[in-house]
Amino acid sequence: MLLAEQALNGLQYGMMLFLMAAGLTLVFGVMGLINLAHGSLYMTGAFACAVVAAATGSFWLGLAASLAAAAAAGALVEIAVIRRLYARDHLDQVLATFALILVFSEGTRWLFGSFPLYLKLPPSLSGAVLLPGGLHYPLFRLVIIGFGAAVALGLWWLITRTRLGIRIRAGEADREMIGALGVDIARLYTIVFALGAALAGLAGALVGTIQSVQVGMGEPVLILAFVVVVIGGIGSIKGAFIGALLVGMTDTLGKALLPDLFGQVLDASSANTVGASLASVLIYVLMAVVLILRPQGLFGARS
């Protein structure tokens, strides 16, 4: 029973990581850009949702606002800063997007202060549902799993079945050629960047309801999203999906089970310490193993 609940928690965590990693991997794959400020867009989405939901009383309006705000912030950042960095090396991209994090974080602190905001769930989404097998599970976590699955399906449809998807894939393969064929690359890149930002903003708004909304909330998630992208392989949406579920499950189950597992051989207090320390680094061990076996990630084509 506990195991089933933890497995669902892991699935929910994985779906949330997928929303983050999908945007990152799209931007890597299409533009070859490393964006450290992706976590700032996640934070933007969470703050937009919290503020609009508090002002209007509607969580759904807040959620829409998170998408709009993150996409707008993404587009703005792309036009003002990011597009000057495509031709630069990764070092410049890292430094510039690191600078953007400082600007976003301190700007948000200036606007909203250092205290966390809290998002209230609408009554229709709060409470628990009884799952087959007799498990009571929070409805909202199931909703997040649903959102993640829907976004995964939607992205798959977008990339494989639409004109925009064809252009995105063509942009990954050869950016000069699609430019020569008459595609407005600058606009395409802005759209892809804004799309990735919107996904991050959605993740931020959803997670903001479980935890709290505060400055700096995007940074731990960003690093986990990097781990996901490394495991899945850069540019692969499928890799991001499978990597995110792997990381979500490993982290959640590790934290739930490892202390007990060590309890079999060690005394209770040291089992807790060792178990908790090991659980906190488990996903990095997973990443190391994947790197040893496949340096380009599970589904990565290029390194």
What is the C-alpha separation between 172 and 32, in angstroms, rounded? 8
Based on CB atoms, which residue is closest to other proteins, 68 or 94?
94
- What is the chain's length? 303
What is the C-alpha separation between 63 and 49, in angstroms, rounded? 5
What character string, x for contact with other proteins (CB under 8 A) and - otherwise, covers 223-242?
x--xx-xx---x--------
* Window contacting other proteins (CB under 8 A); options: 67-75, 137-145, 258-266, 273-281: 273-281
What is the C-alpha separation between 125 and 212, in angstroms, rounded? 17
Q: Does 157 bind other proteins (CB under 8 A)?
A: no
CB of 296 to other proteins, least distance (A): 8
Task: Concatenate the DSSP letters of all residues of 221-233 into one string.
Answer: HHHHHHHHHHHH-
Among 11, 15, 101, 144, binds other proteins (CB under 8 A): 101
CB of 303 to other proteins, least distance (A): 6
What is the C-alpha separation between 230 and 300, in angstroms, rounded? 9
Q: 208: alpha, beta or left, given left = phi > 0 and alpha = psi -120 to 50? A: alpha
Using DSSP's 3-state secondary structure scheme, residue 238 falls into: helix
Residues 234/300, Cβ–Cβ less than 8 Å: yes
Q: Does 291 bind other proteins (CB under 8 A)?
A: yes
Based on CB atoms, which residue is closest to other proteins, 103 or 153?
103
Among 94, 117, 183, 210, binds other proteins (CB under 8 A): 94
Residues lying near other proteins in the complex (CB under 8 A) are found at: 28, 32, 34, 81, 84-85, 88, 90-92, 94-96, 98-103, 105-107, 109-110, 219, 223, 226-227, 229-230, 234, 273, 276-277, 279-281, 284, 287-288, 291-292, 295-297, 303
